């Protein structure tokens, strides 16, 4: 089972209090699917299809949330690694200090964030999380990995 609370939703038990808002929405939708099926308003195939679509939407939301988390982590890393150059540029905003800040950030982006994609005859893989890109997706050469947020170099 994809949803840990599916059995409870199937039996129309009250929504568990410890669920996150995301899981509570999933619980309620799942419970509604079971109500419709048990009343005969939808067929078993329709219920399975609705549940499959709910799972797909949930996975998409989880992936998007992971992408946001990873992107925020990378941004924080840039800020942390560039702290000294930023402080110096703020204290003394000379041309040299501003160039040093830009060079620092460029170096971080090139060395820390950009990752060389691992190419194969079947497509490519993200070097950070290993996500597989099929040939069509690899030919599009996305700038970022949709799973982990890493900047990709093709």
- Integer Cα distance of 149 and 113 in angstroms: 9
Predicted local distance difference test score (pLDDT) of residue 7: 92
**Would you say 120 and 127 are in contact if contact means Cβ atoms under 8 Å apart?**
no
Confidence label for 112 from pLDDT (cuts 50, 70 and 90): low
Instruction: List b or e across 49-77, with b for residues whose CB sees 16 or more CB atoms inside 10 angstroms.
Output: ebbeebeeebeeeeeeeebeebeeebeee
The tens digit of pLDDT for each residue in 20-41 reads 999 999 999 999 999 999 999 9
pTM of the model: 0.55
């Amino acid at each position: 089972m994809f949803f840990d609370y599916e059995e409870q939703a199937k039996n129309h038990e009250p929504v568990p209090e410890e669920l996150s808002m995301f899981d509570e929405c999933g619980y309620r939708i799942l419970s509604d699917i079971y109500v419709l099926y048990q009343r005969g308003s939808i067929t078993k195939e329709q219920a399975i299809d609705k549940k499959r679509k709910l799972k797909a939407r949930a996975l998409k939301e989880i992936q998007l949330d992971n992408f946001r988390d990873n992107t925020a982590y990378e941004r924080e890393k840039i800020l942390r690694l560039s702290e000294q150059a930023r402080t110096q540029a703020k204290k003394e905003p000379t041309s040299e200090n501003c160039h040093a800040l830009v060079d620092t950030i460029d170096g971080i982006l090139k060395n820390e964030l950009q990752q060389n994609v691992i190419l194969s005859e079947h497509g490519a893989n993200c070097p950070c999380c290993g996500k597989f890109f099929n040939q069509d997706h690899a030919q599009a050469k996305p700038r970022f990995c949709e799973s982990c947020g890493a900047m990709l170099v093709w």
